[in-house]
Amino acid sequence: MSDEVAPLLPVKNASRKPHYKSRKGCLACKKRHVKCNESRPKCSHCARLEIECVWPESPANALPSPHSPGQFQSHSPASSVDQQRPAAGRPPELAVDDMKLLHFWTVNTATSMNYASHLWQIVIVDMAFHHHFLLHGILAVAAIHKATIFPAERETLITQSSSHIGIAIASFRHLLATPVPATCVPVFLMAGLLSIHSLGLAQLRTPTDAVGEIYTWMRLVKGTQSTIQQNWQRLQASEIAPLLSRGRAGLVLTEVEEVNHLKSLVQDEVHLTVSERQTYFDAINQLQTVFGNVLYSKGDEIQASAMVSSWVALVPPEYHELLASREPVALVIIAYFAVLFREQQHVCWWFRKWDVWILESVRAQLPTAYERWLEWPTAQIGNG
């Protein structure tokens, strides 16, 4: 056994402060193994060395997975808004199922949008990477569209769509309540996606009250009108301007015999008040315009499909109230409007069957005395 005494280790300074590792520091400090003061956007070390300060991807930046248990219920508007600001401008992380839906959107759904499909394929998808509620809206509509083509995956796709649209709506409502000019474009686009989703979902689950559901859809379309009016110049100067010009083009009054006949029936109806009669006249006049462009004009079908939704925005709000009350004349007018769905269902997959559903729903609620008012829409729509 050796008698040598091991050298004493230096005594640690008891007053030395403990060293805490920086777990959220920038990548440059981590690489250099130095403590980062986590000052954003540039920490003190990177500022002193005049180098780029890059931060690790935040888990909050990942796109919430609609497949995670409890994800839909726990999502809040506040967290949605936070997710709209991806760190370092990077796109959100997507689950494999989400990437499949995004691929389907790009290849199929975007091209089915009929007008300016390149915007839906490229520009709007890129915008959605910076506004995640819009990305959820895109994935929700893609899931519905895919389910109409692949019925074997229907229930799974409906579940995915419901989760995505729920997350999207949470942020959408928050932004509508606190509007800012910077988000007017994605909010406008999201309103359009909600409209398509509302009608498209019925392709998978037949509505039990078509008039009630079409009224809800009309309220949604009408609600976008204020967004357009308040931000018209900003929208017109944006990349999506071609979408606006399509929807507003060709509003030239054209007399259509069948719709004129409806107007004469309203004129002879003795049970209407003066204000009700005027409301119906206004709605019918706008319907004349749309029918003239969709059925009789030589304009392209792409513009015509946009005109269908434009009628909803143009009719007076009093008509919406009369329809909500299921007033007979209001029901007849919506049956005439249903003919437009029939004319455009080969262009817009989300319009399919709505003509039949609306007509059947109107028939079930309309008093017998008004049945003859439905002769023309019945002849046009038939039994589907």
Domain holding 35: CATH number?
A: 4.10.240
* Residue 366 to residue 248: CA distance in whole angstroms: 33
Residue, of 23 and 64, whose pLDDT is higher: 23
Based on the fold, state whether residues 169 and 285 are members of the same structural domain.
no
State yes or no: pLDDT of 277 exceeds 90. Answer: yes
Q: Can you tell me which residue has the tokens 């304009």?
A: 299
Q: What whole-number distance in Å separates Cα of residue 51 and Cα of residue 232?
A: 42
Question: Which structural domain, as residue segments, surrounds residue 289?
Answer: 257-382
Q: Is the pLDDT of residue 245 over 60?
A: no
- 133 and 200 in a common domain: yes
**pLDDT, tens only, 288-325:** 888 877 765 555 555 666 778 888 888 999 999 999 99
Select from 205, 223, 242 the last residue of a domain: 205
Alpha carbon distance, N-terminus to C-terminus of the chain: 104
Query: Does residue 100 share a domain with residue 46?
Result: no
Reading phi first (left if > 0) and then psi (alpha if -120 to 50, else beta), residue 382 is in left
Phi, psi of 92 (to 5 degrees): -70, 160
Helix (H) or strand (E) holding 248, with range, is helix 241-248
197 and 261 in a common domain: no
Q: Dump pLDDT digits (tens) for 121-161.
A: 999 999 999 999 999 999 999 999 999 999 999 999 999 99
- DSSP3 helix / strand / coil % (the chain, rounded to 5): 70, 0, 30
Any domain includes 16: no
> Average pLDDT for residues 233-261, to the nearest whole number?
72
Q: For position 149, what pLDDT does the model report?
A: 95
Mean pLDDT of the 172-176 span: 85
Residue 39 and residue 107 in one domain: no
Mean pLDDT of 269-288: 94
**Residue 113 counted as domain residue:** yes
C-alpha span between 269 and 280 (Å, rounded):
11
Give pLDDT, residue 112. Answer: 87
pLDDT at 9 > cutoff 70: no
The reply to whether 221 falls in a domain is: no
Residue partners of 186: CB distance under 8 A and separation at least 6: 127, 128, 131, 133, 134
For the chain, the average pLDDT equals 80
Highest mean predicted confidence (pLDDT) among 16-25, 81-90, 112-121, 328-337:
328-337
Tell me, yes or no, whether 143 lies in a domain.
yes
214 found inside a domain: no
Residues 193, 273 within the same domain: no
pLDDT digits (tens, 9 = 90+) for 365-384: 999 999 999 999 999 998 65
Question: What is the pLDDT at residue 264?
Answer: 92
Task: Identify the weakest region by mean pLDDT among 45-49, 130-134, 165-169.
Answer: 45-49
pLDDT at 270 over 50: yes
Question: Mean pLDDT, to the nearest integer, of 249-278?
Answer: 82
Q: DSSP states of 1-30 as a string?
A: ---PPPPPPPPP-TTPPPP---SS--HHHH
Report yes or no on 338 lying in a domain.
yes
Q: Comparing C-alpha atoms, which of 79, 29, 35, 20 is closest to residue 55?
A: 29
Same domain (yes/no): 118, 178: yes
Cβ 335 vs Cβ 328: under 8 Å:
no
112 and 178 fall within a common domain = yes
pLDDT surpasses 70 at 59: no
Is residue 74 in some structural domain? no
Residues 358 and 273 occupy one common structural domain? yes
Q: Are 37 and 119 in the same domain?
A: no
Query: CA 29 → CA 21, 32, 39, distances in Å?
Result: 11, 5, 12
Q: How confident is the model at residue 123, as a pLDDT?
A: 94
- The mean-pLDDT minimum among 51-60, 230-239, 311-320 falls in 51-60
Q: Which of 233, 224, 199, 226 is CA-nearest to residue 305?
A: 199
Residue 222, number of CB atoms within 10 A of its CB: 15
> Which of 352, 341, 342 lies closest to 203, judged by CA?
352
Phi-psi bin for 88: left (phi > 0), alpha (psi -120 to 50), beta?
left
User: Are residues 273 and 375 located together in one domain of the fold?
Assistant: yes
369 shares its domain with 300: yes
Residue 315 DSSP SS3: coil
Quote the number of domains for the chain: 3
Tokens of 317: 């709000």
Does 3 map to a domain? no
Residues 6+ apart with CB under 8 A from 229: none
181-223 residue pLDDT tens: 888 899 989 998 999 999 999 999 999 999 999 999 998 888 7
Q: Which two tokens stand for residue 48?
A: 């002193």
Q: Phi and psi (nearest 5°) for 305?
A: -65, -35
**Last residue of a domain, which of 205, 227, 243?**
205
